[in-house]
Amino acid sequence: MYEISHWIGGQDSTGAAGTQPIYNPATGEAVGTLHLGDASTVDEAVRTAAEAQREWGRASLARRTQVMYRMRELVIAATDEIAAAITREHGKTLPDARGEIARGLETLEFATSITQELQGMFAENVSTGIDVHTMRQPLGVVAGITPFNFPAMVPFWMHPIAIATGNAFILKPSERDPSASNIIARLYQEAGLPDGVFQVVHGGKVTVDALLTHPGIFAVSFVGSTPIAQHVHETAAKHGKRVQALGGANNHAVVMPDANVQLAAAQIASGAFGSAGERCMAVPVAVTVGDVHDDFVAAIAEEARKLVVGPGDQDSTDMPPVITPDARERVIRMTDEAEAAGATVVVDGRSLVVKGYENGNFVGPVVLTDVPRDHSTYTDEVFGPMLVVMHVNNFDEALELVNSSPFGNGTAIFTASGHYARRYQEEVTVGMIGVNVPIPTPVGYSSFGGWKDSLFGEHHAHGPEAVGFYTRQKAMTTRWPHQDEHVETSMSFPTHG
């Protein structure tokens, strides 16, 4: 058993808002204790951050990038430590945990080149003797609220760019797997970041609402479910904050008749069952077009049945447990409901038991066909190892099915046709698109974000759009006349000439 506290002002802080257990999803046992925060915890963190940011915001770009370069080396050296903490508290396999750290490092590496991203514009002689230039400056204290499914990668989408652009950052990670965030806090301190510039507060809704309403926080970035994203967006915006709230998803992968069926099945199995389907970029829906349906269902069933389900720290494991007993029960209940509604259960993981881990949150892969289009198993975000295979007659029907979803996070098409791939990219109403790629998560120096109910706010995560989110622009118009120069008084609005 271990304890996880808040990290405020460069040291552990327990506060007085109570505690809750931290569980290992593979065993069902409590492995640690988390100290929870409240409004007073958040207020202390904001006051500490505001004081630290005043100096950090004036620090040279050279100093900021040196911290980022040092941080990169420390994170690489600590990858196994961070991955072990993620696997212990989230359940995902160690290779998957290392993979999310590697993807998070892409954003940290982007932050090391912040000198390029913060360059302004200069225009000489826009009017006679008058020049214009721009600069970008930090907002001040900003906050990130992140989900359980990527306890390292998603926070990395936020804090490196926020800090590199001169802000102080307060992170509220998921209370289910908090240890990775505290490890990152320690590494920032080792990298030379001044105490108070990166802080961690833990807790649930009370802590979240305190962050959303605190007058000392100027921007909030969030990743999580759509209902909570809506709450975050509405509440923070009402309190005058800049908001970036990434919501849920129900990503579709279209399999065309000319697709390589084995490739499509292997790739979609990875998207549907990797990390037990607990990814916002998971693929819970496959859409088969025309006569490819039977071949694809047979191929995806074969892929699902050969997966080894077990603890994430075992080398033989392909698919880990889900995060909580409730998540396991949701997959089982939704499978039951789909079957009762007439769906065919092609692969049934409901009764799976992992020997020696009978109290773990294990459920096997589920593959369903013949699901009614209005059934919740298809329309809702299951967030578990379930794949629903829908069938349509042609490309236009597939496009209509995908576009009718209220979500617009990610999608994929498997085809050998450049014509259909190009049409799909142009006509689908989704923010991130893969062609023969099941999980089209952009690299860290691009930007991540969906459409429709998958994103609330104007800015996508990481990459250049994050620089715009965490800074604001000033435009300067300057004249330096000679001391003897005579300028006539004019009451007209100034024009250029």
The SS3 of residue 296 is helix
Active site residue 128: no
The alpha carbon of residue 213 and the mean position of all alpha carbons in its chain are separated, in whole angstroms, by 22
> CA-CA distance, 248 to 229, in Å (whole number)?
8
CA angle 374, 376, 380 (to 5 degrees): 110
> Is-contact 347 304, C-beta < 8 A?
yes
Q: What percent helix, strand, coil does the chain show, rounded to 5?
A: 40, 20, 40
What secondary structure does DSSP assign to 189-207, as a single string? Answer: HHHTPPTTSEEE---SHHH
Q: Which of 139, 145, 280, 327 is catalytic?
A: 280
**Chain position carrying tokens 């080396």:** 73
- Other CB atoms within 10 Å distance of the CB of residue 165: 25
> CA-CA distance, 430 to 251, in Å (whole number)?
9
> CA-CA distance, 495 to 188, in Å (whole number)?
50
Q: Which of 116, 161, 138, 197 is nearest to 466 (CA)?
A: 161
> CA-CA distance, 318 to 437, in Å (whole number)?
19
> CA-CA distance, 288 to 297, in Å (whole number)?
9
Q: Which residues fall within 8 angstroms of residue 216, CB to CB, at 6 or more apart?
A: 46, 47, 49, 50, 140, 141
Identity (one letter) of the amino acid at 265? A
Q: Which of 53, 14, 51, 52 is nearest to 36 (CA)?
A: 14
Q: Which of 188, 74, 64 is nearest to 114 (CA)?
A: 64
> Is-contact 245 452, C-beta < 8 A?
no
Q: How many CA atoms lie within 13 A of 388 on its CB side?
A: 27
Q: Which of 464, 415, 45 is nearest to 257 (CA)?
A: 415
Q: Say how many Å lie between the first and final Cα of the chain, rounded.
A: 73
Active site residues: 280
